Copies of this chain bind each other. A is one copy, B any other.
């Protein structure tokens, strides 16, 4: 009786078509994960780009901005902005490459290394929050499957 005109009076609930679409589940889960991670970074006065850049330099050492962009998958233009912010906070240092006038050599400062440690901790906590409902085995399975998907689209 409450749908005489096809106007549902009850709300909420997602269409089953969407719930049955894998990529919907994927992007929605990722949205929650992204929100949680973003909040975690915000608690450390950072954004995802900053973490990616710091983690990359910690693993591969100092590098040019273009190289950082390739390692992190961040666009050159966005690397500029993120590094500006990191430099303002004293976490990285820009220096012209004496061997190549086009390049800047970006170095992580001791403060930057401390910041990375803080962010690492925040990221770890966020993981537990995101994947709370999954057992350790399930998390491993999920990671494996996602890694497969990711590898498949890596070249693009």
- Interface residues in chain A, defined as those with a beta carbon under 8 Å from any beta carbon in chain B: 3, 5-8, 11-19, 21-23, 25-34, 36-37, 52, 55-56, 58-64, 67, 70-73, 97, 105, 120, 123, 126-127, 130-134, 138-139, 141-143, 145-153, 156
Q: Could you say which residues of chain B place their CB within 8 Å of the CB of A64?
A: 7
Which 9 residue pairs of A and B lie closest in terms of their CB atoms, listed nearest first? A30-B30, A6-B61, A25-B146, A133-B152, A32-B153, A23-B33, A11-B70, A15-B59, A6-B62
A16 to B131: give the CA distance in the assembly, Å: 20
A147 to B63: give the CA distance in the assembly, Å: 40
Determine if B133 and A71 form an interchain contact, defined as CB atoms under 8 angstroms apart: no
The chain B residue sitting closest to A27, CB to CB, is B30
- Distance (Å) between the CB of A108 and the closest chain B CB? 10
What is the oligomeric copy number?
2
Determine if A17 and B59 form an interchain contact, defined as CB atoms under 8 angstroms apart: yes
Q: Could you say which residues of chain B place their CB within 8 Å of the CB of A133?
A: 148-149, 151-152
- Distance (Å) between the CB of A99 and the closest chain B CB? 8
Determine if A150 and B28 form an interchain contact, defined as CB atoms under 8 angstroms apart: yes
- Distance (Å) between the CB of A8 and the closest chain B CB? 5
Contact flag A61-B27 (CB < 8 Å), given A21-B123, A22-B130, A156-B32: no
